[in-house]
Amino acid sequence: MTVSVDASYDCDLFVIGAGSGGVRASRVASQLGARVILAEGSALGGTCVNLGCIPKKLYSYAAHYHEAFAQARGFGWTLAEPEFDWDVLKARRGAEIARLNGVYAELLRGANVQLVRGWAKLLDAHTVAVKTTTHEQRFTARHILLATGGEPLRIEGPGAQWAMSSDDMFDLSPFPKRLVVVGGGYIACEFASIFHGLGSKVTLLHRGPQLLRGFDGEMARFVTAEMRKKGIDIRLESRIAAVERRGEVQRLQLADDSVLEADTVLHATGRRARSRGLGLAEVGVKVNEDGTVPVDAGFTTNVPSVHALGDLVGNKALTPVALAEAMVLIGRLFGEGRRPALDYATVPTAIFTHPQVATVGLSEEVARTRHGVLRIYRSEFKPLQHTLSGSTERTLLKLVVDDASDRLLGAHMVGGDAGEVLQGFAVAVQAGLTKAQLDRTIGIHPTVAEEFVTMRVAASRG
């Protein structure tokens, strides 16, 4: 398909934000023949590459070695006492992220996308100003795409002046011997697991009665118990009443009058769409109270020439979702527009806690509100590895099945490599496969994943 070029504009598509969604949209649009300009004032790759998925997963790998060294003795290995060097890990991570930044720059060059380094702001429905360190440039565009992602919520209240956000955790100096994490979502739980594995004494404070709200309740309770077994002090229905700093130590008084001392306090209590400073109100683009930008099914805002996707629109704050949304939008603007609308209900996700949590489809709680009789299949066991490792870690697998249609509504797992296992079963949920089809599938033995196709007796029905 040949893109019609309107020479009255500087470009066909101006993209603000070089994260996963913005880069994908830029590259694909350019490959389809559109003239594309992309503006970014920070490191290329967005949150995922620089302050999210990639560095967190690298640190999670590092944290697992602590357990692996201990468990190796059960398999006959004799090891000297290992030592961890935080500065080495930070440097290695920094080098890898810098390499990825370069990869993104090369991808844009290879796709003939013009990259402008600076912070962009809308002036009208077809004009963008980009402020660099030395001057301001203005560009006109037939279409403008907002792909600015999200940012951690900055807290107010006790200890706010000393609080760290998730963005701050990768380059802490010195390494915190005592870490308090405030929050109960996936970011809080991941960082609690990571720093505990690296050697911190970690306390996790959450004001609610359960971690990981919105995930299957049984799985959330199970991973909470596993994290506690590993030594993380998890305190539910807990709040900070006051914080006092004595030198480099923070003294936290909780609402129940107990006291904690910490070298670092991480507040991981949520994220907000990065919509401020873009000039949206002046141009007439609607913004929700939570900062997200409402769009239609084709990712267009109420201003027809302005589009948005990714964390900014608030569907699901996941890199693969932003990539998929970019493909839908660019296909509609410059392609044949045949890509189907996204099914957010079947988007899989993983939480890189220790052990991991992975899920796709409906939780048991949500399924009960949308369907009639359910069949719940579950399997809990000690993985083969830990029969010799000495670890008490257990694994839980769960299937949620609609009794009337036999269709698989949800699959959930807590255990080693849960993210890798659930990716395959996400295909089954998205395709609407039935429990009978799973039962006909031969498992790979001996693996944890085979349990998903060998559960024959429902744990409950109703």
The residues annotated with a catalytic role in the active site are 445
Closest among 398, 400, 387, 404 to 452, alpha carbons compared = 398
* Assigned token pair, 67: 């357990």
Neighbours of 78 (CB within 10 A): 6
DSSP-derived pairing of the beta strands 11-16 and 36-40: parallel
- Please spell the DSSP secondary structure of 55-117, one letter per residue: HHHHHHHHHHHHHHHHHHGGGT---PPP---HHHHHHHHHHHHHHHHHHHHHHHHHTTPEEEE
Residues 6+ apart with CB under 8 A from 278: 16, 120, 121, 122, 146, 148
Cβ atoms of 316 and 347 closer than 8 Å: yes
Amino acid identity at 304: P
Dihedral sign for Cα atoms in the order 296, 302, 308, 312: negative
How crowded is the C-beta side of 353, counted as CA atoms within 13 Å?
31
